[in-house]
Amino acid sequence: MNFIEKVQKASLKNQSLLCVGLDPDPRRMPDHLKVYDFNKSIVEATSDLVCAYKPNIAFYEALGAEGMDALMRTMKIIPSDIPVIVDAKRGDIGNTSISYARALYDVFGFDAATVNPYLGFDAIEPFIQYSDKGVFILCRTSNPGAEDFQSLVCVYQHHTRPLFEVVADRANEWNTNGNIGLVVGATYPEELKLLRQQNPHMPFLIPGIGTQGGDMELTVRYGLSHDGDRAIINSGRQIIYASKGKDFAEAARKTAQILRDEMNKYRVAFQSKQS
């Protein structure tokens, strides 16, 4: 089973578009709790509510060897039918990207990874070649700085288009294995809408709801494919830091449930409009 099938199966089973971001920050976690134990509690409390998990590897690297070990151990306790997308935003010259792909897919065993397009095709190709794994190319990110370069108007095939649209276009061209998706931030709903129109079948990984301020209704309405799927909507801090007390896992579950149900409500509205 490839990544796309795995995420669709999990999404169907748990009736969920929700991806939980596993981004442990000890200063925001309950006191004295280890990262692995924190993750374990969060996963146990939410794994029947999600279509995927998304650990951002930066939070583990910041904790050194202990953090990386916690991430490796976390991988072992996530149920095998729930895909794990590592948010790593990697990309390097071909020879080096081979090592990154190997680290993320072989050493850690992630089902999908986010990659950065700035270095072009040979930086992404080693990831694409793992045809059963997913590759999410950063297209329109959720942060304020996304405007700096991604919005620049470029001359491309005799037309002018913003850089992020060119990235999406090239991503389609490179998608011979059918395993490429796009990262599109919820904080830019108009761009999300446009990108969905231009890329009707690609899986979108959509960060930016919750703490970053993206609107849930617009995210669902604009992010879903015509079939009402292919949107993986991430929420991290809002869920995992719902409480800093002993009830953090329970609070995370409650928040995850609310978010999942809200997404489903908008999904039903979307689907009834489609049909």
178-217 mask for its own copies (x: CB under 8 A)? -----------------------------x----x-----
Map the footprint of its own copies across residues 39-58, applying CB under 8 A.
56, 58
Compute the distance between CA of residue 266 and CA of residue 269 in angstroms, rounded to an integer. Answer: 5
Number of residues that bind its own copies (CB under 8 A): 59
Compute the distance between CA of residue 19 and CA of residue 188 in angstroms, rounded to an integer. Answer: 19
Q: How far is CA 58 from CA 22, 27, 70, 200, 238, in A?
A: 11, 15, 13, 31, 18
Q: Quick one: 113 or 224, whose CB is closer to its own copies? A: 113
Q: Quick one: 103 or 218, whose CB is closer to its own copies? A: 103
Q: Quick one: 47 or 56, whose CB is closer to its own copies? A: 56
Shortest distance, CB of residue 194 to its own copies, whole angstroms?
18
* The binder of its own copies chosen from 53, 59, 222, 270 (CB under 8 A): 59
Q: Quick one: 47 or 235, whose CB is closer to its own copies? A: 235
* The binder of its own copies chosen from 14, 47, 142, 235 (CB under 8 A): 142
Q: Quick one: 4 or 192, whose CB is closer to its own copies? A: 192
Q: Applying CB under 8 A, which part among 35-43, 47-55, 66-74, 220-228 lies near its own copies?
A: 66-74
* The binder of its own copies chosen from 23, 111, 165, 191 (CB under 8 A): 23
Map the footprint of its own copies across residues 76-105, applying CB under 8 A.
87, 89-94, 96-97, 99-100, 102-103
Q: What is the dihedral of CA 259, 260, 263, 268, to 10 degrees?
A: -140
Shortest distance, CB of residue 238 to its own copies, whole angstroms?
13
Note if 9 is an active site residue: no
Shortest distance, CB of residue 208 to its own copies, whole angstroms?
9
Q: Which of 89, 193, 244, 254 is catalytic?
A: 89
* The binder of its own copies chosen from 141, 179, 219, 238 (CB under 8 A): 141
Applying CB under 8 A, does 169 fall inside the site for its own copies?
Answer: no
The dihedrals phi and psi of 4, each to the nearest 5 degrees, come to -60, -45
What's the per-residue H, E or C state across the chain?
CCHHHHHHHHHHHCCCCEEEEECCCCCCCCCCCCHHHHHHHHHHHHCCCCCEEEEEHHHHHCCHHHHHHHHHHHHHHCCCCCCEEEEEEECCCHHHHHHHHHHHHHHCCCCEEEECCCCCHHHHHHHHCCCCCEEEEEEECCCCCHHHHHCCEEEECCEEEEHHHHHHHHHHHCCCCCCEEEEECCCCHHHHHHHHHHCCCCCEEECCEHHHCECHHHHHHHHCCCCCCCEEEEECHHHHCCCCCCCHHHHHHHHHHHHHHHHHHHHHHHHHHHC
Residues of this chain that interact with its own copies (CB under 8 A) are 23, 25, 56, 58-59, 61-65, 68-69, 72, 87, 89-94, 96-97, 99-100, 102-103, 107, 116-124, 138, 141-150, 152-156, 160, 163, 166-167, 170, 207, 212
For the annotated catalytic residues, the residue numbers are 89
